[in-house]
Amino acid sequence: MLDTHAPSTPRIGVRRLAGAIGAEITGVDAGGPLDQDVVTVIRAALLEHKVVFLRDQQLDYAQQVAFAERFGELTQGHPIFAPPQQKPFLREIDSAQGTRANHWHTDLTFVDRPPAIALLHAVVIPPVGGDTMWANAVAAYQALPAELRELADRLRVVHSNDSDYTDATVVNGRLDYVSTVYETEHPAVRVHPETGERALVLGGFAKRISGLSPSASRDVLRALQEYVTVPEHTVRWQWRVGDLAIWDNRATQHYAIYDYGTEHRRCERVTVAGDVPVGVDGRPAVVLRGDTSTYSGTGD
């Protein structure tokens, strides 16, 4: 793949960071007015590289929201936790609140419409540590042996907020996180609505495979997940204050490395609403427990 440059916007550069995933975009001020062709370049880079990074972005809440809205309608900040006052679209990822995400996951797959795109802005970064890794779930699917790929195409996986992810990542707020249990059955392989690519839908919220015993579910999920997180399918980002990461939540997993001890780490996330994942066979995800329609903007 070649780096992406738009002839009409020569100031914008897109530099690949790893072989399978990740690129850094230069020449964009996300806090200022942007022509549509700039947004088009960013979106194209995002679809190709799955996660893109913009250094040194000075964004307040209103600016971050305005920039994110260029990519689609926004969700509420989180389906479970209340947002900060007067910031309905914001989710604070703050170590001082006991929040960390040191487990491979795709955001919020326990709902039937996980976010399509997430935008995370670095506000406080520890002096050492606190990097985040992303993995390419499309490359993982493509790397599966043919027999395992055919199996994955047929599987349905139940995702829940009461999962291994919760135990590993939510510290002080665990009881709040599972006070209401949400479960959605997703296809193990979804067809990306924009690119047509097939991506594995797994990660820390994946609890069991429909129709399999608990032990068989664990074994199959583990075998598939290993293809997602092999180093060749990942990129690691070393944060600086002001950095903005944008990732395609339909095609990736990520892991926030918890190696900074008692140091403070705080990032702010807004998310673009997604659609219901659809499998290779055309079957959509199905809600099993809980109602998150208010979060996803689909209250009907």
Is 269 a catalytic site residue?
yes
**Of 100, 105, 198, 208, which one is the catalytic site residue?**
105
**Of 107, 112, 243, 248, which one is the catalytic site residue?**
107
CA-to-CA dists, residue 282 to 75, 147, 190, 274, angstroms: 25, 20, 9, 17
What residues contact residue 82 under an 8 Å CB cut-off, 6+ apart? none
What's the gap between Cα 108 and its chain centre?
Answer: 8
Strands 286-289 and 183-187: antiparallel
**Of 208, 233, 254, 265, which one is the catalytic site residue?**
254
Is 107 a catalytic site residue?
yes
Q: What SS3 class is residue 138?
A: helix
> Count of CB atoms within 10 A of residue 170's CB?
21
CA dist 142 and 137 (Å) reads 9
Is 105 a catalytic site residue?
yes
Strands 234-237 and 132-136: antiparallel
Backbone angles phi, psi at 69, to 5 degrees: -65, -15
| Amino acid found at 13 | G
> Count of CB atoms within 10 A of residue 157's CB?
28
| Amino acid found at 146 | A
Backbone angles phi, psi at 194, to 5 degrees: -105, -40
**Of 113, 186, 198, 269, which one is the catalytic site residue?**
269
Is residue 268 a contact partner of residue 121, using CB atoms and an 8 Å limit?
A: yes
CA-to-CA dists, residue 171 to 4, 103, 123, 238, 264, angstroms: 41, 13, 21, 24, 15
Residues recognised as catalytic: 105, 107, 254, 269
